[in-house]
Amino acid sequence: MATTVSPAAVADAGVRQAGARSRSAVRGGAWGAAAALVWAGAAGLTQWWPNHNILLAYTGTIVAITAGVAVAVALATVAGTRLRPVGDWVRWAGPWLVVSGIWVAGWQVLTAKTGELAPPYWAAPQAFVNTFHEDGSLLLDSTWHSLRLLFTGYAIGASIGFLMGVAMGWSQRVNYWLHPILRTLGPIPPAALVPIFFVILPSITSASILLVAMAAWFPVTMLTYSGVSVVSRSYYDVALTLGARPRFLVWRVAVPAALPSVFVGLFMGLGMTFITLVIAEMLGAKNGLGWYIQWQQRWSAYPKMYTAILVMVILFSGLITLLFRTRGRVLSWQKELVRW
């Protein structure tokens, strides 16, 4: 029996939806305004409260940064009243923006203004700007060397792991010969092989690349092998019915079906390469961010060490975000299942 919806019910539902959107917009605007005020307060506090150490430089730069954040948040809040995506972002990020502004202000008070957290183990925000001013070129060079080592090792390890995982998942004979190798070498932490590789390989660079490659190889191999081996037999039956050949079954059926598992392996491998990269650079390399941190730690230059760690946070988080964006495009039907 067909049911009808009265015009009054439709109108009432529309009114409720409009009311919900209006309340959501008000909350977003309130959070945005609060965040702008907090960051403006942090800028004013940095500007007008004298520093505990009169020799501390670049206070004006910190004022400009915090004031710039306050202006950007205020503009986004105003724009969010007309642009719904901007308003949604302000509503989502508003609480974090408020808390982060309070944290920056507290950091400024405890370090630069009162000296409660004193050098050398603690650093004011101004010290980060000073590091970029003094060691900017060295930090850039170290970042370039770390990226080159990371990309080279990860590309080698992920490529070998992917091909090996596909072969093992597709062929029982290949799996028979390669699976013992995977079970033997895979669980060994790459850091445990540092002393061996640095001795038997011709250069520290080649040893570091091999260590990073091994860190990516195991998770990519294991997850690719697992993904290919559990592909439903019905997929192959349909393709065989249409006249598919073995090569088509591997690259057009098995691999696409296993891609969700492959991307999990790529993500895990990328995380392992970050750890191995820093260890390799700290223990033997003569350049890179890990080497820079180790070098500054020997001189008790903790602000510079913290700055290098900040660069790592931005760099590594950006790479993981890029990997997830790639995954979202390749696996659009699974876009919302795994988030970063």
Fold classified for 134-331: MetI-like fold (1.10.3720)
Average pLDDT over the chain reads 88
pLDDT of residue 130: 93
Percent of the chain predicted with pLDDT > 90: 63
Mean pLDDT, range 190-214, rounded to an integer = 89
Angle at 311 between CA 295 and CA 38, to 5 degrees: 125
pLDDT of residue 19: 44
Query: What are the b/e assignments for 208-245, b being 16+ CB within 10 Å?
Result: bbbbbbbbbbbbbbbbbbbbbbebeeeebeebeeeeee
Query: What does the pLDDT look like over 153-194, one tens digit per residue?
Result: 999 999 999 999 999 999 999 999 999 999 999 999 988 888
Residue type, 16: R
Cβ(289)–Cβ(312) below 8 Å: yes
Percent of the chain predicted with pLDDT > 70: 89
- Cα torsion 155, 158, 161, 164: sign: negative
Residue 235 to residue 170: CA distance in whole angstroms: 14
From the list 171, 172, 208, 173, the residue with the least C-alpha distance to 191 is 208
The encoded tokens of residue 215 equal: 């860190």
DSSP string, 17-69: HHHHHHHHHHHHHHHHHHHHHHHHHHHHHHHHSPPSSTT---HHHHHHHHHHH
Higher pLDDT, 283 or 263: 263
Higher pLDDT, 238 or 216: 216
pLDDT at 13 exceeding the cut of 50 = no
Query: What does the pLDDT look like over 15-59, one tens digit per residue?
Result: 455 444 555 556 668 899 999 999 999 999 999 999 988 878 999
Mean pLDDT, range 221-246, rounded to an integer = 88
pLDDT of residue 168: 95
Name 161's Cβ contacts closer than 8 Å, sequence gap at least 6.
216, 217, 218, 219, 220, 221, 224, 265, 269
Domain ranges, ordered by start, for the chain? 14-113, 134-331
Query: What does the pLDDT look like over 82-92, one tens digit per residue?
Result: 888 888 899 99
Residue type, 187: P
pLDDT of residue 181: 92
Cβ(287)–Cβ(253) below 8 Å: no
Residue 297 to residue 91: CA distance in whole angstroms: 41
pLDDT of residue 61: 95
